[in-house]
């Protein structure tokens, strides 16, 4: 079977940032190619370049042998490319059936009304994607999964040669993922070429004929799911390297619980980001929550800190946190280091640290500052420097140090290794291990980088698609959960 999609030398620059560099891929009719990579890899940019939403700086995109690179998106759609967007974009004043019928109409001002067969075809498509029971409802009244089904229905209606599917599993429950996998597989059975992009690596691997992995805009490897997952570069990107663990000289005694999370769920609109998750953290314990991008780690931490609305119970030191503001929770001892760092860029390193300790008596603040500058020596040499001028690794150290200045009873670290160079990772790892071995602080760490998370853990939770799928000590992770993490 011939290639319906051929991409060669595809390159996109945004100013000085090279988002996609010399990308190449091919997909035959009746084939699904899975495109994987962590956040910032360039996956969505590749999809936008193929669809014409973004224009490439260089490279070729051929649909069924015809060059389309640089054409407008509506022109590329007419050449036979359809896209299923991550975020549903229906016409909200039209019913489900009317949305499907509009997609069936030809691109011609000479035909403004649907022929008789269009109505029948629209009902067929609705039945195929399991929307036949809601065809007369408006999109705004549908649950999230049905909105995603409507996106699939509109793509089916155009009968494209090439189907681009962006993050189809985001916000879906496990049964819904299985249902959507079957629907996407049906494109292959009908001879379409499918490019599938998703953070759910397992879902992509189970559905795709081939996998292409990319990182920082560049091609890493391509092949079967098994071969790609065994690739050392892929494992390093997703896991951080070889899986290991480091026990304390003496395991901490679980005297009592400091934090308990019970059956917490979070929705973003109609998309469910967390589904009935429960965990506990003992006083003085280091607990790591590991999961791929999009698993729900940040959402979990934001629910604990009351930064997002949630259902369920979060209690700290025996007290229910329901009704408390994020500020009250922080002052009560739960201090979160966000993935985005949120430093005051125009203020110096010292001023950022002083803000963290402004509530402490002068002498205590001075002693704590000296302790932190010993823990992160680079900050001592940068004390008078504006925070925005620091490197990414230095900013991360400053973020953690500022949080520690607040004397937290529970420190939450959200993806502290994101985007850091190996030498900085080593420095950060040493600092966290010093905290773990020499203080009684309690830490809840969220990480995709397993090889960073495990050595700094007394217990590990694995979060997948908004639910915990494994919990246990780090020395059991490799044999019980490591092989399935990807």
Residue-number span of the structural domain to which 289 is assigned: 242-333+408-486
Last residue of a domain, one of 239, 266, 297: 239
DSSP β-bridge partners for residue 410: 334, 442
Do 226 and 252 share a domain, yes or no?
A: no
Q: Residue 142 falls within a domain, yes or no?
A: yes
Give the three-state DSSP class for 157: helix
Q: Give residue-wise pLDDT tens across range 240-288.
A: 555 455 555 554 455 588 999 999 999 987 778 899 999 999 999 999 9
Distance set, CA 16 to CA 12, 13, 237, 340, 384 (Å): 10, 7, 23, 21, 29
CATH number at residue 281: 3.40.50.300
How high is the pLDDT of residue 277?
A: 95
pLDDT at site 50? 94
Q: In this structure, are residues 47 and 195 in contact, taking their beta carbons and an 8 Å threshold?
A: yes
pLDDT at position 109 is 42
Residue 338 lies in a domain: no
Predicted confidence at residue 111, as pLDDT, reads 46
pLDDT for residue 108: 45
| Total Cβ atoms within 10 A of residue 275 | 17
DSSP 482: I
Length of the chain: 486
State residue 85's pLDDT score.
79
List per-block mean pLDDT (blocks of 10 residues) for the chain, which spans 486 residues. Answer: 90 86 94 84 89 93 93 89 80 86 66 64 87 88 84 84 85 76 87 84 82 88 86 70 52 71 90 90 92 85 94 94 92 88 86 86 88 87 86 84 90 82 74 85 88 85 90 83 62
- What is the model's pLDDT at position 285? 92
Q: Is residue 340, in this structure, part of any structural domain at all?
A: no
Asked if residue 319 and residue 214 are part of one domain, the reply reads no
Do 290 and 352 lie in one domain? The reply is no
The verdict on residue 367 lying in a domain is yes
Q: What is the largest CA-CA distance in the chain?
A: 83
**Considering 213, 239, 265, which residue would you say is the last residue of a domain?**
239
Same domain? 269 vs 384: no
Q: Is residue 173 part of a domain?
A: yes
The separation between the first and the last C-alpha atoms of the chain, rounded to the nearest angstrom, is: 31
DSSP state of 34: E
At residue 434, the pLDDT reads: 86
Q: What is the pLDDT of residue 390?
A: 80
Write down the pLDDT at residue 110. 42
SS (H, E, C) 55-122: CCCEEEEEECCEECCCCCHHHHHHCCEEEECCCCCCCCCCCHHHHHHHHHCCCCCCCCCCCHHHHHHH
- Domain end, chosen from 189, 207, 239, is at 239
Q: How far is CA 454 from CA 398, 447, 473, 482, in A?
A: 23, 9, 9, 11
Q: Which burial class, exposed, middle or buried, applies to 342 when counting CB atoms under 10 A from its CB (0-12, 13-18, 19+)?
A: exposed
Give me the number of domains the chain comprises.
Answer: 3
Same domain membership, residue 414 and residue 399: no
Local structure of 315: helix, strand or coil: strand
305 and 416 in a single domain? The answer is yes
Q: Specify whether 359 is located in the same domain as 292.
A: no
Note whether 93 and 210 are same-domain residues: yes
| CA-to-CA separations, 288 to 187, 408, 414, in angstroms, rounded | 39, 17, 10
Answer whether residue 79 is part of any domain.
Answer: yes
Instruction: Give the residue from 208, 192, 195, 210 showing the smallest Cα distance to 80.
Output: 192
Residue 419 lies in a domain: yes
Contact 48, 197 (CB under 8 A): no
332 and 324 Cβ atoms separated by less than 8 Å: yes
CB atoms within 10 A of CB 303: 24
423 shares its domain with 481: yes
Same domain? 246 vs 369: no
> What confidence score (pLDDT) does residue 354 get?
87
Element (H, E) at 424: helix 422-438
Same domain, 287 and 428: yes
Contact 5, 204 (CB under 8 A): no
Q: Which residues pair with 25 in a beta bridge?
A: 7
User: What does the pLDDT read at residue 363?
Assistant: 87
339 assigned to some structural domain: no
138 and 259 inside one domain: no
Taking CA atoms, 10 is separated from 67, 74, 193, 218, 309, in Å, by: 13, 20, 19, 10, 41
């Amino acid at each position: 079977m011939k290639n319906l999609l051929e991409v060669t030398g595809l390159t996109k620059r945004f100013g000085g940032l090279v988002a996609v560099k010399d990308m190449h891929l091919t997909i035959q009719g009746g084939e699904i190619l899975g495109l994987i990579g962590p956040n910032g890899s360039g996956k969505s940019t590749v999809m936008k370049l193929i669809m014409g939403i973004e224009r490439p700086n260089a490279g070729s995109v051929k649909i069924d042998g015809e060059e389309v690179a640089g054409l407008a998106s509506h022109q590329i759609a007419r050449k036979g490319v359809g896209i299923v967007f991550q975020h549903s974009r229906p016409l909200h004043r039209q019913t489900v059936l009317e949305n499907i019928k509009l997609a069936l109409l030809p691109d011609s001002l000479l035909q403004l009304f649907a022929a008789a067969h269009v109505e029948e075809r629209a009902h067929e498509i609705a039945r195929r994607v399991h929307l036949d029971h809601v065809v007369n409802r408006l999109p705004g009244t549908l649950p999230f999964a049905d909105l995603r089904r409507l996106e699939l229905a509109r793509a089916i209606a155009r009968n494209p040669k090439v189907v681009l599917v962006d993050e189809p599993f985001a916000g879906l429950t496990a049964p819904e993922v299985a249902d959507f996998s079957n629907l996407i597989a049906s494109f292959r059975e009908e001879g379409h070429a499918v490019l599938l992009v998703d953070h759910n690596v397992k879902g992509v691997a189970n559905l795709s004929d081939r996998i292409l992995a990319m990182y920082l805009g560049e091609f890493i490897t391509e092949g079967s799911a098994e071969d790609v997952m065994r690739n050392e570069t892929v494992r390093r990107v997703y896991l951080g390297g070889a899986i290991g663990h480091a026990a304390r000289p003496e395991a901490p005694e679980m005297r009592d619980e400091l934090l308990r999370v019970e059956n917490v769920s979070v929705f973003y609109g109609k998309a469910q980001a967390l589904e009935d998750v429960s965990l506990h953290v003992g006083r003085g314990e280091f607990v790591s929550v590991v999961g791929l991008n999009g698993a729900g780690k940040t959402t979990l931490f934001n629910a604990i800190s009351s930064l997002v609305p949630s259902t369920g119970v979060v209690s700290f030191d025996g007290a229910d946190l329901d009704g408390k503001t994020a500020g009250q929770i922080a002052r009560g001892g739960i201090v979160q280091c966000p993935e985005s760092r949120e430093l005051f860029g125009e203020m110096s390193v010292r001023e950022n640290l002083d803000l963290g300790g402004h509530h402490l008596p002068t002498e205590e603040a001075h002693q704590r500052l000296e302790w932190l500058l010993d823990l992160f020596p680079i900050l001592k040499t940068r004390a008078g420097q504006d925070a925005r001028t620091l490197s990414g690794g230095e900013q991360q150290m400053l973020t953690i140090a500022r949080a520690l200045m607040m004397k937290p009873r529970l420190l939450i670290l959200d993806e502290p290794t994101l985007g850091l160079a190996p030498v900085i990772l080593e420095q950060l790892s040493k600092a966290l291990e010093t905290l773990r071995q020499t203080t009684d602080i309690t830490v809840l760490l969220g990480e995709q980088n397993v090889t960073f998370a495990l050595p700094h853990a007394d217990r590990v939770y694995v979060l997948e698609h908004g639910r915990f799928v494994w919990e246990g000590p780090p020395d059991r992770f490799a044999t019980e959960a490591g092989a399935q993490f990807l």
